[in-house]
Structure 1
Amino acid sequence: MKQSWKKTIKKGMCLLTAGAMLVSLSGCSSAANSGKGDVPVVTIWGNGGQEVREALQAIADSYNNSPEYNKKAKVEIQFVVSGTSEQSLPDRLAAAYKAGETDTDFDLIATDDSAIAGILAQTSQDFFETIDTSKIPNYQNLIFKKNIIGDTFIPYRGTSVYLAYNSEAVPEPPKTADELYQWIKDHPGRFSYNDPSTGNSGFSFTANTIYNQLPEEAATSSDEKWMTEHTKEWDNAFKLLADLHPYLYQTAGKVQYPMKNAGTLDLLSNKQIDMCPAFANMVLSQKSEGTLPDSIKLTQLKEPFLGGLAGFAIPKIAKDKEAALSVIDYYLSYEAQKQDWNTMFASPVVDASKLEGLEHADWLAETDFDTIRYFSIGTLQNKVRERWAEEIGSLAR
């Protein structure tokens, strides 16, 4: 990974009451999880897709097997898989906070930077601890020492949406957003994006139509002025999405918006479409497993799709704050960064040239993070999704 990546980062939810349910919803207390053997147990809570869970667990297992680190703590993973009926991680954190819990097993929260604002909205602006990086030796490895969240957040992997396409059908993919929109109209039924409320690749396509028309700083602000004072740009964007609607993938003569990020990739894999927005790590993982053919390639537009950082935050209600620092330290090691790539093709947040034993190392060039568009708009995400459901999703009913 090039050091220039960091220069390209653009400045850019019901609460439950306390009661008998609280232990299961907010995490076990320290009495139940005070430690095993002579070391404390550090519990990482994460959410997202199954591939994220597997990567977190793989690195946790390596930590627990490390003669150097397993003297400091034992790591356990608790994970809320997206799209299930489980209570969301932000709601669990909010339940614990509202009940006044101060000694929970929410030791480390592993989440995307874009999700932090939602957690703070349900708890408090000082819900997370300031992290003492002097106690994290491998912090020196980190390229992204500056991030939109600040000193309560330490990134451990990168992620971004790209344009995935079938190179057999599309030898020359679009290079700009306008070229993409024209390609969609010129090739009816061969493009799709998922319902934005079910996955962020579809959300990215939707958000790009809006934020391509706004000043650069809007992409990293949750200020509602970017909506209330820019109604023309929002109106133009949703008119464009409505204009594109008839040209999208159809079944039984009706436009269909797939569910989840995987939905559009399934269509691409089956050659029912030729192009869609997709997360780089999902495409590369499926190519590695053979579920996506080698003909599927990735490219980025001149106006890049959203990108961001996943990282760790330590809630003030955590029981093992000091021990949690050693866990962050391990996830920033070159060994862990290599393992994160090899497990889920997560983009490293350290100098990739120092990582040895990478699988498909050539794929790093295909997902060159010099093109990242750092995107974090907090609760405005909900406004985008709500308006899409009202004006665009309704067209498919």
Structure 2
Amino acid sequence: MIRRTLPLAVLTLSLLAACGGNGAASGNTLTIYVDGDVNVRDLYQKTLIPGFEKANAGIKVNMVFSEHGQNNTPMLNRLGASVKTDAEPPFDIVDSGITKNAAHGKLLDPLGADKVPNLSKVSDQLLVPVDHRAMPYRGSAVILAYDGTKVTSPPKTMADLLAWIKANPGRFTYNSPNTGGSGDAFLNTVLTMHMDAASVQKSTQTYDTGIQTQWQAGLEVLKGLTPAVYQKVYPNGNQEVINLLAKGEISMAPVWSDQILAAKDNGLIKDNIKLAQITDPPFTGSVTYIGMATNSKHKDAAYKWFNYVLEKEPQADIVRKMAGYPAIPSSELPAELQEKFKGLQTDNLRPGFETQTDSDAKQAWQKTVP
């Protein structure tokens, strides 16, 4: 999962003049609006776009890149205005923090396996939160990291993990949910354990304060863990938790899969740190969605893009360069990448709370737990 500034940068990879830098390109050229960090920009510039253009002769791609999404709000407004007036959209394809909002606003076209055959490889569970109007092409999840020299039999379920924390005081922590997604996932998952199934599903899609009446039991569980948490305080940020694990200060913690896998690849995390999947329920995951403007004039070319990024080779490149989860089953990846995810369920990316619900949960944690 990528959460990372340069000023707004517009990168032209080919034929930018065809769209005047102002909208979706004419002719057989796609314009893709992308936000994120420089690693996302490089993924497109150095890997995905060259590979796509080679595999689809005659189709060119322009990327409009906004570091950290500095131009997201005006871009979403421009898309909405173009749909309302049936004008040229500012892009054909979007890979951005605005993708979900655009899907919910019906500014993106529905996607299906009839137009994108490789979409049949993607879990339908991941398409429901965006009304099938966008598709995941990479992801990450919060998983359990532990020191294998100190923990020989890691917990497998959330109930087992909560019991382990209480039985091993000072050897576990999670960051304050307001400072990073791994701590937020821990909060979200404990609250979910005490909610009925219908409310859990609703909480991922719709803001409804009525479901929050079911949070108190989970908040009390979390408050009860504080005496067993490392130094009885909560670190600031995902990375600080990983640092504590690397230094041996703690033996177990929830971490983002992409961060810990990248740290292992770079040698910053030693082989004694092992990874495990928690179930019943699993920690939440994060999916990066791409979608197509409903008023795009280049839909056939866009369908080719969507299908291409779900092919085995691009998915393997995404895993190598982003340390993320593939959108297709990991069994389709090369053997060395399958080994990377051994013990992890890359297709089990449980959605977390929708934005406002998540914000309320963080506030409730802050008032109740520390």
- Shared fold per TM-score greater than 0.5: yes
Match of 1:127 in 2: 107
Shift of 1:336: 0.5
Counterparts of residues 1-397 of structure 1 (less than 5 Å): 30-32=19-21, 39-47=28-36, 52=40, 54-63=42-51, 66-76=53-63, 78-81=65-68, 87=70, 89=72, 91-97=73-79, 102-110=87-95, 119=101, 125-131=105-111, 133-140=113-120, 142-145=121-124, 147-148=127-128, 149-221=130-202, 222-225=205-208, 227-229=209-211, 231=213, 233-250=214-231, 255-259=233-237, 261-303=238-280, 304-316=282-294, 320-356=298-334, 358-369=335-346, 372=348, 374-379=350-355, 380-392=357-369, 395=370
Higher relative contact order (CA 8 A, sep 6+): 1
2:35 alignment partner AA:
G
1:96 alignment partner AA:
R
> How big is the alpha-carbon RMSD for the aligned residues of Structure 1 and Structure 2?
3.5
Taking the aligned partners of 2:283 and 2:163, their CA distance within structure 1 comes to: 17
Match of 1:17 in 2: none
Contact 1:220 1:376 in 2 (8 A): no
Shift of 1:224: 4.6
With normalisation by structure 1, the TM-score equals 0.74
* Structure 2 residue matching 1:43: 3-state secondary structure: strand
Any gaps of 5 or more consecutive residues in structure 1? 1-21
Taking the aligned partners of 1:52 and 1:181, their CA distance within structure 2 comes to: 36
Q: 1:338-375: CA deviations, max 9, x gaps?
A: 1112223332333444434x5443123221347x2522
Q: 1:10-64: CA deviations, max 9, x gaps?
A: xxxxxxxxxxxx999xxx99422568997424224233x6655554444324435
Contact 1:60 1:77 in 2 (8 A): no
Taking the aligned partners of 1:38 and 1:96, their CA distance within structure 2 comes to: 21
* Structure 2 residue matching 1:67: 3-state secondary structure: helix
* Residues 280/387 of structure 1: CA separation in 2 closer, same or farther (3 Å cut): same
Q: 1:246-286: CA deviations, max 9, x gaps?
A: 43234xxx723222x32321221222222111122322221
Q: 1:122-148: CA deviations, max 9, x gaps?
A: x963122223654435445x2325621
Any gaps of 5 or more consecutive residues in structure 2? 1-7, 11-16
Shift of 1:207: 0.5
Shift of 1:99: 5.9
Contact 1:103 1:317 in 2 (8 A): yes
Taking the aligned partners of 1:37 and 1:319, their CA distance within structure 2 comes to: 8
* Residues 198/30 of structure 1: CA separation in 2 closer, same or farther (3 Å cut): farther
Q: 1:316-349: CA deviations, max 9, x gaps?
A: 4667544332221210111111111222333233
- Aligned-pair identity (%): 24
1:215 alignment partner AA:
D
Aligned residues: 348
Taking the aligned partners of 1:37 and 1:107, their CA distance within structure 2 comes to: 11
2:21 alignment partner AA:
A
